[in-house]
Amino acid sequence: MANRYPRIVERLLEEELLSIFPAVLLVGARGAGKSTSAGRFADTTIDLSMPGPRLAARQDPDGLLAASPGTVVIDEWQEAPEIVGAVKRVVDTDHSRTPGRFILTGSVRAAQQAATWPGTGRLIRVRMSGLTQGEIEHDRVYNPIEELFSPADAPIGGTCDLTRSDYLKRLVAGRFPDVLRLSGRYRSRWFASYVEQLTEFDARQIAVGTPRPTKLRSVLASCAARTGQLLSQVATARDAGVAAPTAEAHMRLLEDLSIIARIPAWHSKRLHRLTRSPKVHVVDPGLAAHLLHADEDTLARDATLVGQLFETFVVSELRPRLEAVSVATEMFHFRDRSGREVDCVLERGGRVVGLEVKSSTRVGRHDAKSLIWLRDQLGDRFHLGVVLYAGQFPFRIGDRLWALPIGSLWRQPDSLEKADQPPGGEG
């Protein structure tokens, strides 16, 4: 399928990485668009999913690379792992460190082979996610994380015309390029086929041992049911009917396949009694909705489930942006043993931005109570707190606290003005 969307990763490769580094490893879920995006920069493509190139890579990887001029894209490298050693040897012997020589695409098998992985220090790893809403609207440049950390008192966002129903439609549509053109039972069939391919074939390529597809699907279903919640290995094992170590191994496998993500808990020496459990998210909210048999109407009636999926939707919008920030930024969640929690915490250079996600179209100061507490505890370290919600108007809640439409994460404010009070006098 032609790449109809401008991708954040392509801009990153073009403007930064390929002009500096000899080799880049592009990882991400099957169907995210890795091969298409990498192919834009290729002088030579070695597709290891094909029998001929795969055999050549296994028998004489050094010779194969020597006969491949220009920028070489090595697709599905895990089909012939010997090729990575050959890339290492080329990079090590090229004293001029020719930039942009190799782009590898595939899985994160290195996570399971850390002791023997030859790419350490040679391959710059870049994560590619499904389409962001910005990419869908043909904007690969605007990065809301930069705006959230900007010194301006008023943060990102202006009035947004998206309704709650619009957000639900975007949520269930998913982020894979091939599924966006589908709806209804055709979309459901695509997702079902995707899960089958993932568990029956892809998992076996990178797993240690031979995972049982039915058990892997059960663990994935449990992660979908708990998306946006604290990860409980015991609960996941119980849901899937497997032992706790098996559940953990399967969750790591799903992480390597870029299907789930664990968001670590945020910690501070100034605060005590904080939970250390990560949160789990299915990286594509449309896939999560499919696994939960939830369409727009179902979500509109289920306040708990829609809250989980709205949070997953926001996390899936922000995670790809972390790859392209100007200053290293990390993503966490916050929760203490008193029940205070903040859905998403971004930290950059000691400064903190807290984000609460609400599926409601009306919010007020009470929705920011955990953000207020965190601001008061952190003082100057607290840069900004935002309640992201399904309404259309931005407004100030308090000192360094704002309510913003979720669409602010991908739509630039232009000349739109921000209000100092909530619409209708609420708050």
- Per residue in 318-345, pLDDT tens? 999 999 999 999 999 999 888 899 999 9
| pLDDT given at position 118 | 74
Q: Do 163 and 87 fall within a single domain?
A: no
Please give the structure tokens belonging to residue 203: 């998992």
Same domain, 46 and 188: no
Confirm whether 1 is domain-assigned. Answer: no
Same domain, 296 and 171: yes
346-395 residue pLDDT tens: 999 999 999 999 999 999 999 999 999 999 999 999 999 999 999 999 99
Residue 336: DSSP 8-state: B
Same domain for 373 and 334: yes
Residue 323 CA from chain centroid, whole number: 10
CATH assignment at residue 78? 3.40.50.300
Name the DSSP letter for residue 32: S
Residues 248 and 330 in one domain: yes
Q: Quote the crossing angle between the two packed helices 244-256 and 213-225, to the nearest 10°.
A: 80
Indicate if 202 and 233 belong to the same structural domain. yes
State the Cα–Cα distance between residues 321 and 355, nearest whole angstrom.
15
Q: For position 112, what pLDDT does the model report?
A: 53
Question: How many domains are contained in the chain?
Answer: 2
Same domain, 110 and 22: yes
Which of 76, 94, 128 is the endpoint of a domain? 128
Residue 2 lies in a domain: no
- Cβ-proximal residues to 329 (8 Å cutoff; 6+ apart), any chain: 145, 149, 322, 346, 347, 348
Residue with tokens 């945020």: 266
Instruction: Please give the pLDDT value at position 4.
Output: 77
- Helix, strand or coil, per DSSP, at residue 47: strand
Q: Which parts of the chain have pLDDT scores under 50?
A: 1-3, 111, 415-421, 424-427
Do 14 and 83 have their domain in common? yes
Residues 16 and 64 in one domain: yes
φ, ψ of residue 274 in degrees (nearest 5) = -95, 145
Residue 419 pLDDT: 47
The residue length of the chain stands at: 427
In a domain, 3, yes or no: no
SS3 at position 319: helix
Quote the strand ranges of 18-147, DSSP E. 23-28, 44-47, 72-75, 102-106, 123-128
Beta bridge partners of 333: 265
User: What confidence score (pLDDT) does residue 153 get?
Assistant: 67
Domain that holds residue 185: 133-425
pTM of the predicted protein model: 0.91
Q: What is the pLDDT of residue 206?
A: 82
Domain edge (last residue) among 99, 128, 157: 128
Chain centroid, CA 125 distance in Å = 14
- pLDDT given for residue 417 in this prediction: 44
Note the pLDDT of residue 94: 87
pLDDT score recorded for residue 35: 93
